[in-house]
Structure 1
Amino acid sequence: MATGSVWPCLPSEAACVTKVGIPVRFDPSARHAFWWRTKYPTWEESTFQIFRYFVRPDSVVLDVGGWIGSTSLWLAALAQKVVVLEPSDAAFEELVQNAAQNADRRDRLSLLRVALGARRGFVQMTNRGDSADQVGIYDGRQAILSTVWDLRELLLAFPILNETSFIKIDAEGSERDLVPSMASFLHRTRPTVWLSLHPYALTVEEMTGLVALLKEMCPFLYGLRWNITWALTDFRITGRMVDRMPQVADSADDALCLFSPAPRELLAH
């Protein structure tokens, strides 16, 4: 279905908000309904400008850390296919509820209640249902055991991901092991990677290593912003600074990095 077929928000629809020109519906009875109504319309707008620029009607998108659908429901209005991974039971329940409200793009969404990791198995994680649930963390009041798939298992289940052109990774610190485990896949498919680094969970050395790995595979870094002391600066495309992309972070908590394997038509703009 083309983007032009996306149903618009109508004034009478209380469970619909417009985000960077794209209508997104949500379950009005869900826990985060108030957040959708009041925060989502202006939440991380620059991130969605990035999505709009790089995601096309033929794009296959992998959303690692889908939370309640805040990115995937929007992306499914633009892309051919969006595969969403969310290991938190509480968040996944809301994700399913919200996806059900978006009938015009439901066929383009595949939702999996799993974590993506370097190895198959199980992992303990918090289950608050908020955007900061973490694997490998024990909370006696709110803890679950979640299934972990490795990339091989994911590709067997969804062969279309061999054509992945855009990946969003927001794994609350699990990027430490995940990104290196994806190296051969990234080398082969050469997608654009939108990575959220989490300084509260990673050392400076780990963050530097992840960025170096991605920059080797995707040497064109279109944007980076981090509001605290450690920062990457002066990345260039063909010898000149990139100044055409919007600010790429709205939070002092995360470092949001955009990597692309080729400059595409950005340099011609």
Structure 2
Amino acid sequence: MKNVVKNDVSFIVSDDEQFASFWNVVFPNHWEDFTFQVLDYYLRPDQNYLDIGAWIGPTVLYAASKAKQSFGVEPDPVAFEAFKKNIKLNPQFEPKITAINKALSYKSGTMKLYKRTRFGDSSSSLIRTLSDDFHSVSVCILKELLSDYQIKDLSLIKVDIEGGEYLLIPAMRKYLKRHKPPLYLSLHPEFLKSYMKKKYPFSTEEKLKKDYINSVKRLVNSLDMYAYIYDSSSQRIERKHLAEKLLKNDEPIEILLTTAEFKLNNS
């Protein structure tokens, strides 16, 4: 076991060999600092938090110290077992965490969750990229998840699902338009491009490029209810420039979408 500290929060995690390097090296060294700034800014003890793509629990365990209840959704079987183990190691947070072994997408039932290198490595996805190896997982739409687990009063939704966001976000549009919760979204353009090449191996480069542009624009159009958009340096992105910015970028990118200005004390 290992005690880890982030800002003003500490918790215990299992130092299983597969994840020891993350907890020992990656997590303490400015891993996703903006993510935790967003968590600090929006989470409060009278409202709940939904983490779609919880992995082994770093953000959910942190959020449990801030939010009323934290719901962590994770379909990867290896990551989910580690997630549950880490929750059990923290009895002070365990009652405030609901771990959900599902994937969220545009339909309900069963889908294939593909590994990229190996399961548990934080890159498994509902879209096929490098590997054809898969694990069948239970999937549901957002409406069903919220109903089944009585999830409401959300002060923040985080989505980090390794390319699956291009399937999920358009399907979430109706809920987002109605409730407009702050949304912290990770985008993985390289995964989407790899998926398209695998799915349509005989398509021309021109056709693949057109399909990619359409997928990005579809996602952006699904987020038109948000007036404020920020990148991970907390710089505002004008909504009319969002699609252009995303199409120029092949690296993972995190964006925060809100209906009110996001202003850090030090900005």
User: TM-score, normalised on structure 2?
Assistant: 0.79
* Corresponding residue of 1:174: 164
| Secondary structure of 2:229 counterpart | strand
Q: Is the contact between residue 159 and residue 184 of structure 2 (CA under 8 Å) also seen in structure 1?
A: yes
Q: Is the contact between residue 159 and residue 185 of structure 2 (CA under 8 Å) also seen in structure 1?
A: yes
- Return structure 1 stretches of 4+ with deviation > 4 angstroms: 264-267
Q: Is the contact between residue 114 and residue 149 of structure 1 (CA under 8 Å) also seen in structure 2?
A: yes
Q: Is the contact between residue 124 and residue 143 of structure 1 (CA under 8 Å) also seen in structure 2?
A: yes
Give the alignment of 1:218-257 within 5 angstroms: 218-224=226-232, 234-235=237-238, 253-257=251-255
Which residue of 101, 122, 126 maps to 2:89? 101
Give the alignment of 1:84-163 within 5 angstroms: 84-127=72-115, 128-137=119-128, 139=131, 142-159=133-150, 161-163=151-153
Does structure 1 residue 34 correspond to structure 2 residue 42? no
Deviation, 1:206, is: 2.2
* Corresponding residue of 1:16: 3
Deviation track 1:41-92 (CA, whole Å, cap 9, x = no partner) reads 1211122112111211222111101111021111111111111111110110
Q: Which one has the bigger helix percentage?
A: 2
* Corresponding residue of 1:245: none
- Hey, what's the Cα distance between the residues in 2 that align with 1:54 and 1:233? 17
Letter of the aligned partner of 2:85 in structure 1?
Q
Deviation, 1:264, is: 7.1
- Hey, what's the Cα distance between the residues in 1 that align with 2:217 and 2:28? 33
| Secondary structure of 1:95 counterpart | helix
> 1:265–1:31: structure 2 CA closer, same or farther, 3 Å change rule?
closer
Higher mean C-alpha displacement, 255-264 vs 105-114: 255-264
> 1:15–1:233: structure 2 CA closer, same or farther, 3 Å change rule?
closer
Letter of the aligned partner of 1:120 in structure 2?
S
Q: Is the contact between residue 15 and residue 27 of structure 1 (CA under 8 Å) also seen in structure 2?
A: yes
Which residue of 250, 253, 262 maps to 2:260? 262
- Hey, what's the Cα distance between the residues in 2 that align with 1:233 and 1:41? 27
Deviation, 1:107, is: 0.8
- Hey, what's the Cα distance between the residues in 2 that align with 1:145 and 1:48? 31
User: TM-score, normalised on structure 1?
Assistant: 0.78
- Hey, what's the Cα distance between the residues in 1 that align with 2:237 and 2:28? 31
> 1:151–1:36: structure 2 CA closer, same or farther, 3 Å change rule?
same
Q: Is the contact between residue 170 and residue 218 of structure 2 (CA under 8 Å) also seen in structure 1?
A: no
- Hey, what's the Cα distance between the residues in 1 that align with 2:38 and 2:250? 19
Q: Is the contact between residue 229 and residue 236 of structure 2 (CA under 8 Å) also seen in structure 1?
A: no
Q: Is the contact between residue 229 and residue 238 of structure 2 (CA under 8 Å) also seen in structure 1?
A: yes
Q: Is the contact between residue 230 and residue 236 of structure 2 (CA under 8 Å) also seen in structure 1?
A: no
Q: Is the contact between residue 105 and residue 141 of structure 2 (CA under 8 Å) also seen in structure 1?
A: yes
> 1:206–1:75: structure 2 CA closer, same or farther, 3 Å change rule?
same
Letter of the aligned partner of 2:136 in structure 1?
L
Deviation track 1:136-187 (CA, whole Å, cap 9, x = no partner) reads 42845x421011011222122122x232220000111111121111111112
- Hey, what's the Cα distance between the residues in 2 that align with 1:171 and 1:78? 23
Q: Is the contact between residue 164 and residue 189 of structure 1 (CA under 8 Å) also seen in structure 2?
A: no
> 1:90–1:221: structure 2 CA closer, same or farther, 3 Å change rule?
same
| Secondary structure of 1:200 counterpart | helix
Letter of the aligned partner of 1:67 in structure 2?
W
Letter of the aligned partner of 1:19 in structure 2?
K
Q: Is the contact between residue 162 and residue 189 of structure 1 (CA under 8 Å) also seen in structure 2?
A: no
Q: Is the contact between residue 20 and residue 49 of structure 1 (CA under 8 Å) also seen in structure 2?
A: no
Measured on the aligned residues, the alpha-carbon RMSD in Å equals: 2.6
